[in-house]
Structure 1
Amino acid sequence: MASSEPRRLSLEIARFPLKTPFVIARGAKTEAVTLVATITQGEATGRGECTPYARYGESVDSVVAAIESIRGAVEAGADRAALQRLLPAGAARNALDCALWDLDAKISGVPAFQLAGLHAIAPCVTAFTLSVGTPDEMAQAAKAAAGRPVLKVKLAGAGDAERLAAVRAAAPDSELIVDANEAWRPENLDQNFAACAAAGVVLVEQPLPADQDSALALKKWPVAVCADESVHDRKGLAALRDRYDLVNIKLDKTGGLTEALALAAEAEKLGFGLFVGCMVASSLAMSPALLLAARARFVDLDGPLLLARDRPHGLRYDGSILFPPEPALWG
């Protein structure tokens, strides 16, 4: 939205301790470290939160440097369209893009969901994530979360069949989706998919490393397969049609809500189902992704549920039901 008033950009590192360690196939962490971009114009302020991710070659310092490299353009009034040309997809662009959506909503007085062409944002059901552990540890975690309708089970390769059986026994009524985080290999696909089918799993997310996922095209698997690390934005999406049934859209991968909306539209056009995911971060990072939730078969926006504390005006969760953000938070 046009405004003649000057802009000011500020950056802040935010740290959120986790309730328990978050463990996936490639490591563990005890806190979420995010970067918040705040753009102020007159009386209006927009914020966006990103999570730098080492898997994609990012660090807090590298993301700060990327944002600082275009500070002049942002403060001179670069809009969301210009931002897509100024930075590549990734965490840095995500923070700025979401801050600009929020700023435009605040300046115009029109909610971000309406700016995106939506009539409303409805509450949705989010998956709840279980970290990798021993079968006994995961069974205990699953038992504690057994009342939740959808559980996302992190896997790690060796021992996954035992983990799945333990989780299923502890949470017999929950819909299970699993995330291997690239830990499987082509030679064990058959046995791992068989274990998923036996446990009643409905979705397998990123079973193979992104550079080895061509093996997924060899046959039709008994459980739907979703791309995560293999897809960031629209580039290369068409080449994945013979490998995946769904794509996981994360704003830190797409570089913000602008590309996420475009990716969703292109994915739907190509016949993919949609999965909306997140990094472990605060409610500020989840809020823009909620604009995609109504289109998704699965929503995994449970980041704040894993934190020991969220930021002020955080999203409201009633069990696994996630409600839209208040304007004081975002949008």
Structure 2
Amino acid sequence: MTKIIKSGSGKELADARGRLAPFLRDTLVGLNYAYYEPPGAQMLHNNAIFVRSHDYSEALSTEGEQPWKTPRLVSSGGTHLAGSLADLPYALAWVEQDFIVPESVQSLIWEDLVPSLLTGAVLPRWWRVTGNELHAVTLYQRAGEELLTASAKDEKLRQMVIDILSDRMLPQRSGRLEKALRAGRLDQVFPQIMPADTFYLASEFRRRFPNDAEHWGPAGKELDDLCHRFASEVSPERLSQDFGVPHPALAHSYSRELLNVKPFPTFQDYSSRLLAESWDSNNLYWARLTDEMGYPPVMLNRLVPQLTRRMVEKLFATNLDDWPAILRAMQETGEEFRLGKTASLPKSEATPGP
């Protein structure tokens, strides 16, 4: 082959290219599969020909359909994906979900939820995330919690908080929150508040009421100082790009972003995928855990996929509208991680933060 490349005729070079083309094709496809492999990746690690069997034209040859569409799993001629490489992260996660064993028997899990959660954990890369960014994510959540706590005793502040959170909450949920705050029942407030809620609350409160510094607690004041010293580094826009999730169904884009929308209902077909893409709390919560446990930002690349997979194992909804089951599974996974019960993850040698 080397001799042909150096001094072969045109026909010999064309023949050599033809012989090398399958290897190049398999290599490029394999790199895409490896880059987007979901946590666990049982099919990729245990099926030696899964990548090589990717077929771009099977649908055209067998059903007369357009082959260049999002990949789907087919079993003819051996299990493999058929279609283009568009939406590959979701397709690989969809395959992987069948290898994840629920912790609870007969768990009710929405069909398109798990692939979207896994995709949101795999697609981001945190190699360039700084310690200031990581700590800012923690402070935004803590500052939001401080505002909620203070609003239980301050009617004016409570109305400001509810007005902001109503952007992300359905009327029934915001009504229950306001009632609990008015009664001072913080024990009922925080179990139903998502990390994305507190992040958005602190971010939006700073934007709408820049002169109301008297409402900030210690975390809010530390956040204010951090934002003044590293404005562009810890801005909500940058954190949204680094810790957001892709929205291929909602926004037709794999760009990462915190959309800050109300949760979508689950009723049929595509709805559970929309629910998953409107759920943007995972990466924020894992980032806070990483910061508080003393891990460097680069560890997010390992921790987030593994924690998300463990969270999926803990999912147990009681009915189709029980989206708080996602929050419960996430919190249980986080507590398990704090206690060092997640054997597959490394323990930090640093001193955990407050």
TM-score range, shorter chain: under 0.3
Structure 1-normalised TM-score? 0.25
Which structure: larger Rg?
A: 2
| Structure in which a larger fraction of residues adopt helix | 2
| Structure in which a larger fraction of residues adopt strand | 1
Structure 2-normalised TM-score? 0.24
